[in-house]
Structure 1
Amino acid sequence: MGDFFVDRQTLVDLQLLDEGQRGVFSCFNQTITYGGEDVLRDMFQSPLTDRAQLEERAGTIRFLMDNVEELRFDKTTVDFVDYYLKRPDRPKSFSVFNGVCSVVKHFFSPTEAYYAKRRGVTEAFDVLLFIKQLCETYEDGSSIPLVARLNELLDEFTEHPLVSGYLNSSGSTVGRYSVERIDFVFRKQLYKTSLALLETLYLLDAYYAVARASRTMELTFPEFREDESITFEGVYHPLLSEPVPNDLALDTHRRVSFITGANMSGKSTLMKAIGVAVYLAHLGFPVPARQMKTCVLSGLITTINLADSIHAGYSHFYHEVKRVKLVAEQIVQSDRLLVIFDELFRGTNVKDAHDSSLRVVQAFTALNKGFFIISTHIVEVAQALDANRQVVFSYLPTRMEAGRPVFDYRLRAGVTDDRIGLWILENEGVFKLLGGH
């Protein structure tokens, strides 16, 4: 399979990235270092479609969740090592004479560059000692590619007798002359290895952030299956403090989930929860659900919080049409696309919305590929689709208690014609302000 398709509208709909507000990314961003945060952000923006890669990533996160209670390394130390290794004044050669001359010169006239070198060497050893201790503590993690890579890079350092000597006598002070020698090792002889170790440490930081967040939020790992289906048990939205879990299932026999319900009944939140879970699953992350089983999908397109495009000159309805066209273009290229439409064609009159929604859903069911979750206020569309065996009908109920609507946000089988728009207008006192009754 190729790249996982997701567009900017979908990222915004699902609040996946932090753009001026708290998003899903912030739930996982418990990284220690700036480099770790950069790696996590890159990971977060690059969903996968290769099952082996997904399972490898999930295996790494699971190992960290199950075995590493706390990852302890100093942010300031790692940041300085990054600065030290990437300084432009890297040594080109080393000799005993030049080393001694540098020691004498900087003993009497220390410079900022010498300070950076000496501190960099010392703190690079602190990082190496941390990794050495980590690898020794979790020897049973050698089957995990990330841990195996750390061991491999550490071995390259310990093959150098000077480095190995200091690692085996941890805590010993690095003398001035040794600083010159070891600086040449770190920033010349083993420079690529040093950078690789730093990048692998950032990767560890990013993975552990996901593991720690997943453990705190009690997320579960999805199960990837070969059969073409998506099943959720107890899926919920991770940004809610008291979410209500729901179940939903689609397969080759029922590719369209058609959801009805009044305003505020929870349709948008449920659809966002499903979209977030699907996206996280394709990052190889645990998901907010009691259980999730899915085939590997090729993309995700949502249309939930769609605005008019003033700069492009699009009306809301035309923007909706462009979204449907995008789906049509993508599904030609892909057999396993998940499409989510909340209130399809809300930007036009009821007659057009009814006719357009009906035709589009009928076209979706005739494709015999992809999965679709669609919500609407127009109950008549559901009635017209009643005989279509590809559609599963669900609703989120509303009941009135003491003249007020009450929602339990639990999905049920069937169709509802609940409407509370008039109640909202009356409750807000709109008609009284207008002089009505």
Structure 2
Amino acid sequence: MDPFYTDKQTLSDLQLLDDGPDSVFACFNKTITYGGEDALRELFRKPLTDLNQLQQRSATIRFLMDQVDELRLDKTTVDFLDYYLKSPERPVSFSVYRGIRNTVKFFFSPNQAFYAKRRGIAEMVDTLMFIKQFGETHPEGNNIPLLADLQESLHKLTQHPILKKLVNAPQRRLKRYTLEQIDFLLRKEYYQETLTLLDQLYFLDAYYAVASTSRARGFTFPTFQEKENLSLEGVFHPLVSNPVANAVILDTDKRVNFITGANMSGKSTLMKATGIAVYLAHIGFPVPASRMETCILDGLITTINLADNINDGYSHFYSEVKRVKLVAQQIHQSDRLLVIFDELFRGTNIKDAYDGSLRIIQAFSGLGKGFFMVSTHIVEVAQALSTNGKIAFNYLPSRMEKERPVFDYQLRGGITDDRIGLWILQNEGIFELLK
């Protein structure tokens, strides 16, 4: 099965993985541990097209949303455990002689390595006890593969009598000889098992961060179906304060959603919200919408915040042309691609922009595959295409009140020729300055 297609421009347009607080990743990143953050980033980077894998991810998040009020995972414990287990100075063998020798050595001259070993083992015991308690508190979680695997890793480690005894009856002060035995078990004999358990713990942290964020923000799980359509109700942008929710529908009858509206009416925000919802659905996450129904898509390509490519000597218009070419190439390989173009061909003269937009959108509507959201600053293109029954026309309205534009950001059916560019110039005092 082919992977879900997207590219750097799309990730940037939708602020999916940007560094800093203003990204969709940051919205979900309520992880407790550093390793949990890395695991969450890995989930974000791997959108899926396999329904079983998507359902498995969603089931894990849904269970944590419904059943776990708080994940009592201690950051300091897990972070130090990671340091201890991955320290390069690991034991290579163990014998009675080595155990006694090290016991005597560290009794008279304990060093940093000894204290790290003692603390690391204590943190490992606490972690094993946490996993044991989690399984006992949530036995129904054994139906969730990640949680079942975590309990299986615990079972493998506690098959050894020493580790089993520690978990069932923990001791705060272990004898130095016992420390040497346990250190060998954790960092040599059962080393791969301990690393696997740690990795599973990080993914539990990541999934719980998604669950707690989704629960707090009212996100919902998408429904996947075989029927070729994309239907969103109450979709909103997760990074906008007090966002306005809208409905977006694309199906086999109308594969193109053509959106018109004045500057600042919310076209870009709506397109970004749609793209974000589609991407999140394909990493198995809940989405910022009241309802989402979709087929599994092959990929997502957006062109929203496109810049000149100075290094390659590309103008803005040529960069747009390269994006359209990329879409055409991907359409040849994919039947279910979502393409979003905001303000198509804004980088060239009005005549070329009109002619190019008209022909491109006509071509999109006649393909018989894929879905397209397109906006343009040239309303005449929408009017020229208004009789095309394969295109859904929607607009975001604006009106003037007391000589100021007012927007409600609610999508409506039809075409608008609202323009406020001249008002913006006047409001900024440009003409007065130029006198």
TM-score normalised according to structure 1 size: 0.98
Give 1:97 deviation, angstroms: 2.2
Give the corresponding residue for 1:397.
397
Aligned residue runs from structure 1 range 130-169, under 5 A: 130-169=130-169
The aligned amino acid for 1:270 is: L
Listed one character per residue, the Cα deviations across residues 99-128 of structure 1 (whole Å, up to 9, x for unaligned) are 112111110011222122111111111111
Listed one character per residue, the Cα deviations across residues 192-216 of structure 1 (whole Å, up to 9, x for unaligned) are 1000000000110111111111111
Give the corresponding residue for 1:373.
373
Give the corresponding residue for 1:246.
246
Listed one character per residue, the Cα deviations across residues 330-385 of structure 1 (whole Å, up to 9, x for unaligned) are 11000000000000001111111111001001111121110000001212111221
CA distance in 2, matches of 1:5, 1:190: 39
* Sequence identity percentage: 65
Aligned residue runs from structure 1 range 75-90, under 5 A: 75-90=75-90
Give the corresponding residue for 2:411.
411
Unpaired runs of 5+ residues, structure 1, are none
**Contact 2:122/2:172, CA 8 A, preserved across alignment:** no
Give 1:285 deviation, angstroms: 0.4
CA distance in 2, matches of 1:348, 1:13: 21
* Deviates further, 174-183 or 241-250: 174-183
CA distance in 2, matches of 1:175, 1:32: 32
Aligned residue runs from structure 1 range 46-125, under 5 A: 46-125=46-125
Listed one character per residue, the Cα deviations across residues 53-85 of structure 1 (whole Å, up to 9, x for unaligned) are 011100000000111111112211111111111
Give 1:170 deviation, angstroms: 2.6
Per the alignment, in what secondary structure is the counterpart of residue 322 of structure 2? helix
**Contact 2:12/2:18, CA 8 A, preserved across alignment:** no
Per the alignment, in what secondary structure is the counterpart of residue 143 of structure 2? coil
Per the alignment, in what secondary structure is the counterpart of residue 306 of structure 1? coil
**Contact 2:397/2:410, CA 8 A, preserved across alignment:** yes
**Contact 1:122/1:174, CA 8 A, preserved across alignment:** no
Give 1:398 deviation, angstroms: 0.7
**Contact 2:62/2:211, CA 8 A, preserved across alignment:** yes
CA distance in 2, matches of 1:75, 1:94: 31
CA distance in 1, matches of 2:325, 2:207: 37
Give 1:171 deviation, angstroms: 4.4
Across the aligned residues of Structure 1 and Structure 2, the Cα RMSD in angstroms comes to: 1.0
CA distance in 2, matches of 1:349, 1:19: 35
CA distance in 1, matches of 2:153, 2:264: 54
The aligned amino acid for 1:396 is: L
Listed one character per residue, the Cα deviations across residues 125-145 of structure 1 (whole Å, up to 9, x for unaligned) are 111111111111110111000
CA distance in 2, matches of 1:85, 1:218: 38
Give the corresponding residue for 1:292.
292
**Contact 2:20/2:26, CA 8 A, preserved across alignment:** no
Give 1:184 deviation, angstroms: 1.1
Unpaired runs of 5+ residues, structure 2, are none
TM-score normalised according to structure 2 size: 0.98
CA distance in 2, matches of 1:312, 1:177: 65
CA distance in 2, matches of 1:97, 1:311: 65
**Contact 1:166/1:172, CA 8 A, preserved across alignment:** no
Give the corresponding residue for 2:43.
43
Per the alignment, in what secondary structure is the counterpart of residue 331 of structure 1? helix
**Contact 1:317/1:346, CA 8 A, preserved across alignment:** yes
* Deviates further, 293-302 or 76-85: 76-85
Give 1:433 deviation, angstroms: 1.5
The aligned amino acid for 1:64 is: L
Give 1:20 deviation, angstroms: 4.7
Aligned residue runs from structure 1 range 6-405, under 5 A: 6-20=6-20, 22-405=22-405
**Contact 2:340/2:372, CA 8 A, preserved across alignment:** yes
The aligned amino acid for 1:359 is: R
The aligned amino acid for 2:72 is: R
The aligned amino acid for 2:218 is: E
CA distance in 1, matches of 2:158, 2:21: 46
Cα–Cα, structure 1 residues 21 and 194, in superposed 2: closer, same or farther, change >3 Å? closer
Give 1:92 deviation, angstroms: 1.9
